[in-house]
Amino acid sequence: MAELLNQSCEACKIGAPTLSNEEINNLMSEITDWNLITEPINQLKKVFNFNDYQSGVTFLNSVANMADAEDHHPEITLEWGKVTILWWSHKIQGLHKNDFICASKTDSLYLEN
């Protein structure tokens, strides 16, 4: 996880290759408890739980700030006590290394929360 955590997103252009299954499997081993969604496209999903509403809001804001700094924006769903995050690369409709970098940074923000 440390290695991904120290990287930044690179520009991902339309037409860039999505990761191979082997690359995905290798990168999945570097992040903790993320689910690999495969339908309709490959995405990384994780649910983060909280004991109150404001802690979830604070976490959402920290992820949104990181996302904007990386210029890579996930889908974030806020409910009471729960924040669900989906990372994928819109331009290639699938997974790029950027998504694993951001998943790792998301975990780090949760631990800091």
Residues at the site binding a copy of itself, with contacts judged by CB under 8 A = 53-54, 57, 60-61, 64, 67-68, 73, 75-80
Q: Which is nearer to a copy of itself, 31 or 60 (CB)?
A: 60
Report in angstroms how near the CB of residue 23 gets to a copy of itself at its nearest: 25
- Radius of gyration, CA atoms only, the chain: 14
Taking the complex as a whole, the smallest distance from the CB of residue 64 to a copy of itself amounts, in Å, to 5
Q: Which is nearer to a copy of itself, 6 or 35 (CB)?
A: 35
Give the torsion sign (CA, 57, 63, 30, 89).
positive
Q: Residue 67: enclosing H or E segment and its boundaries?
A: helix 53-70
Cβ closest to a copy of itself, residue 36 vs residue 78: 78
Helix-then-strand count for the chain, H and E: 4, 4
* Distance from C-alpha of 44 to C-alpha of 74, rounded to nearest angstrom: 10
Smallest distance from a copy of itself to CB 74, Å: 8
